[in-house]
Structure 1
Amino acid sequence: MTKVKTDNFELLFQKMQSLETIMELRDIKRLKGMIYNLVEDYNATKTKLISVDDIEDNDSDYAVVIGNTQQVLSKISYGHIPFKTVIQEVIFEDTIYKSYDLIARQTLPYFIRENKQVPIFKFINSLDDEQREELLSEKLVAYYKSHSDPKVYINRATRDLEERYSKYPNKTLMAIFEDPELAVTPKQNLLLLAALDSKPENILDFLKQKHDFYYSYFTAVKPSTFKSTYIKLVCIYDCLKYQQ
């Protein structure tokens, strides 16, 4: 070690700028542990990444990704789409995700394992035959075939109301929804029967008009009749509109 005495640190600073940053091993291990915990044990209520440029700005949220940007972004953004976003993709034309091949390969297989009703036809039928052969898993193909009839989305409780529905004076979706004499559960079941009896464009119009009402129940912790009905209505519309 050579000791140097000087009152001009400019040359020293210039030399230091050319050196590579040295990170100690314990810091690397700590960073590795933090990233592992962020990925494996992520809890949105406890973990938050903010801009280090303006630490007071709590609205500056950032995601940290390590790896090839194109590969990682495509896998993360399409592999972790919230189910409520998939619902919106079916209903609205001004969609966020245009690459439906990635949704078919990464998003839909996850949701058919987790949910009984998943709208799949808009995404799958946007693919050509070669893409379907390459991208679709056996389980997704089986789900596609078993859900090609929109009646698969209604249960026994709904079917038990078919006679009551046949005698209902005004069978439009909006008339049933706005009927003050109907209790919640029968009303939701009658809506499903009305959807089976409606044109796709009429179902879509109802879904858009009542989107805010139903969509608010997607954040509910407990299962909701309204949420279940809306998902089924979207699935029925998706099947009637896009099933080939």
Structure 2
Amino acid sequence: MRTVGVDLAAEPKKTALAVVDWSDGVARVESIRLGVGNDAIAEAVLACDRAGIDAPFGWPDAFVRMVSEHHAGRLPATVGLANREGRRPLTKRRTDLVVQAATGIAPLSVSADLIAHVALRCAGILAELGDLGVDVGRVDGRVVEAYPAAALRTWGLVSRGYKSVQNRVTLGELVDAFLVAADWMELGAFQTICRESDDALDAVLAAVIARAAALGCTALPEGGDRDVAEREGWIHVPTAGLQSLRP
């Protein structure tokens, strides 16, 4: 099995892509690239079995309805937009609420935060992949929505404080802890870049989450949540420890 992980940013400059080969009892990082554009992402996805992209795959249903009604001049004056509490349903997807309840980590709002720029780029990438014949279903397509912070929390590893220039010590410690917990992972020549760039490490983690999704080791929406998730997107949070992903 070969998986791809993408730490997507609004622009290629901060985007990282990792390719991991899972065979012979080892997960070997074949490559990590920084400054990755859409074409390189599409090429990598086409050549892999499963991919994970760290980016929202959609917007809240309530937000989409509100924008559509506002655009058409049909927004009721009774809509509660005067305060934060009234606007909250417009800012959180169902998957965001599920992840927060399960892990205590609140994903950024795709409709009320700068991550919306990342989501817009992601929507374009998914459209391009769809045109190339890739299954881009937002729940269990070839590409899944990854959220490294939630995965790290589930695996009992540090999930906060490693994503800044001032915290490179913490980033290095996280790499050490990850390699102990996932003793089947070989970063090889790419260990240094994972210690220097949280984007690179998150790309590797997204590739590991893609492996978890491929093995059926992530939580999926239940009941009516599936229909919602097919529109809004669904964050794949691992349901088992790292040892369950051993090749």
Pairwise same-fold verdict (TM > 0.5): no
TM range (shorter): under 0.3
> Under a length normalisation based on structure 2, what TM-score does the superposition of the two structures give?
0.22
Q: Which has the higher strand share?
A: 2
Q: Per residue, is there more helix in 1 or in 2? A: 1
Q: Which has the larger radius of gyration?
A: 1
TM-score, with length taken from structure 1:
0.22
More contact order relative to length (CA 8 Å, sep ≥ 6)? 2
